[in-house]
Structure 1
Amino acid sequence: MKSNFKFLAFIAFFGILLNSCSSDDDNVSPSLNAPEITGFEYGEGSAHSTEQVAYKGSDIHLEADIYAEAVVSSITLSIHAHDLPLADGEVEWDFFQEFSGSNYQVINPTFHEHVEVPTDIPAGEYHIELVVIDELGNSTEIDGHLEILDYVTISDDHIDTEAVRGTDFHAEFVINALNGIHNITVDIHAHDLPVGAGEVEWDEEIVFSEGYHGLTEVEFHEHIDVPVTAPEGEYHMVFTVEDEDGNTKEHHAHIDVTAP
């Protein structure tokens, strides 16, 4: 009798143990997958372009669809370049921003932002990376490359570095202007040159538009007169191209003016 009782008690205990384990398994949530990023696109902001090109002084349009089984905790965006040469007045651009607003801390958000592009950074190729992290710590990233360009570029310059007063000097370079050229200004001036008898300080600004206005690609080719009364010495020249939207590009040069 006692043996039967012990056997029945063991069976009952084993049954309760199995049921308890089964109940515990039912209460454990299955692991959730990391977020997925699809449709990641970016480009010129004003046109919502997807050509992966943006312009200095403008903005970048960025958009992506995010599928997340758990609530998104944060979205981070980084943009940086690798060893781009810096011209005078330019600085490196290393952009990083975390987006964690209520519109993103949800299931399946759509990422849509516009990022301003500084005017004083080097043009060239930049690496762009988007990282999504959910509230369970799962993360996913996607990356690509973005070309940062100038609205106006000046290249292939050939500008005289010496001139005799009373003659002229030659200046030429190639201009590319996405929005068309409005005008080209040449500012010529010196710094504290002594003015002798019969001489007059040479500080001149010349505006060129005829033959250039409205064109998107052209060779600037001009001969500029040097006054016979200009003091001898080094002059600083600033060639400024302005496009039809008011964007500008400067090119600096120097010229030594000598007596005949």
Structure 2
Amino acid sequence: MIAATFTACKKEEVISDAPSITNLEIGTNNNKTAYPGTDIHLEADLFSARNLAGVQLTIKPKSGSGWNFSQNYTEGFANIKNASFHKHIDVPTTAALGSYLVTVTVTDVLGKSTAVVSDLEIKYDPTLPNATGFEVGLNTAGNDLHVEVSISAINKIAKIEVEVHGSAWEKDFSFTDVSMVGLTNYNFHKHLDVTAAPKGHYHVHLKIVDQLGKENEFEEHFNK
């Protein structure tokens, strides 16, 4: 008598879902507003069961002519399932005012894609706090980050926030120095402890908040 053993073949799991984009933010506190000569904050959570391949960001006028922006991003997104998309895009001083569309498109390794479209208004506000001469620099030891900038705020300074972030490390610093709060002009000069930050490329976001709650953000970079 011959006994035969049969082994059932398991079907491989078929993943058909397209990648997803959630928690999209456009502008400070998702206000969907930008101003010429500053930058605009964009952030979203990305997911793909098959692994991400890349992200495309486009900004264009709703109608007629105006500022156009298009950029593909793969570094920090390719071949992983989850990612946080966080960018600050410079808005040219010559950007035409008006209504724009922001499109974020995420593509997975099999070519499936998902796009999310959001409104953006570019407007002019001469009373926004402003920054000039923004500079950052890391010391030789790699533990002290020099941050300096000249600030002007018609509605008087309330606080300054500095965010330092890379792919594997992030830290927020908030300043309400008595010598600064209530002034319309101030030379902001700080040394931030970044000892814990691993080697890599970092973004430094400077946010100025005035006493009417108006905010403006600026960005610089450094390598460690």
Residue of structure 1 equivalent to 2:171: none
Residue of structure 2 equivalent to 1:57: 37
> Is residue 71 from structure 1 mapped to residue 62 from structure 2 by the alignment?
no
Shift of 1:67: 2.2
Instruction: Please point out which of 108, 118, 127 is paired with 1:144.
Output: 118
Residue of structure 1 equivalent to 2:104: 130
> Is residue 34 from structure 1 mapped to residue 14 from structure 2 by the alignment?
no
Mark the structure with the bigger radius of gyration: 1
Shift of 1:70: 1.1
Distance 1:107 1:74, change over 3 A: same
Equivalent positions of 1:192-203 (< 5 A) are none
Instruction: Please point out which of 57, 61, 64 is paired with 1:81.
Output: 61
Matched length: 136
Residue of structure 2 equivalent to 1:192: none
Equivalent positions of 1:143-182 (< 5 A) are 143-152=117-126, 177-179=127-129
Q: Output the CA distance in 2 between the equivalents of 1:215 and 1:98.
A: 38
TM (normalized to structure 2)? Answer: 0.52
RMSD: 3.2
Shift of 1:103: 4.3
Distance 1:146 1:133, change over 3 A: same
TM (normalized to structure 1)? Answer: 0.46
Answer 1 or 2: which has greater helix percent: 1
Shift of 1:105: 3.7
Answer 1 or 2: which has greater strand percent: 2
Shift of 1:124: 0.8
SS in structure 2 of the partner of residue 150 of structure 1: coil
Percent same amino acid among aligned pairs? 30
Specify every segment of 5 or more residues in structure 2 that has no aligned partner in the other structure, as ranges: 131-152, 157-183, 187-224
Q: Output the CA distance in 1 between the equivalents of 2:24 and 2:97.
A: 23
Residue of structure 2 equivalent to 1:101: 75
Residue of structure 1 equivalent to 2:93: 119
Which digits, 9 at most, give the CA deviation of each residue in 1:139-178, with x for residues without a partner? 11111100111233xxxxxxxxxxxxxxxxxxxxxxxx34
SS in structure 2 of the partner of residue 34 of structure 1: coil
Q: Output the CA distance in 1 between the equivalents of 2:68 and 2:106.
A: 19
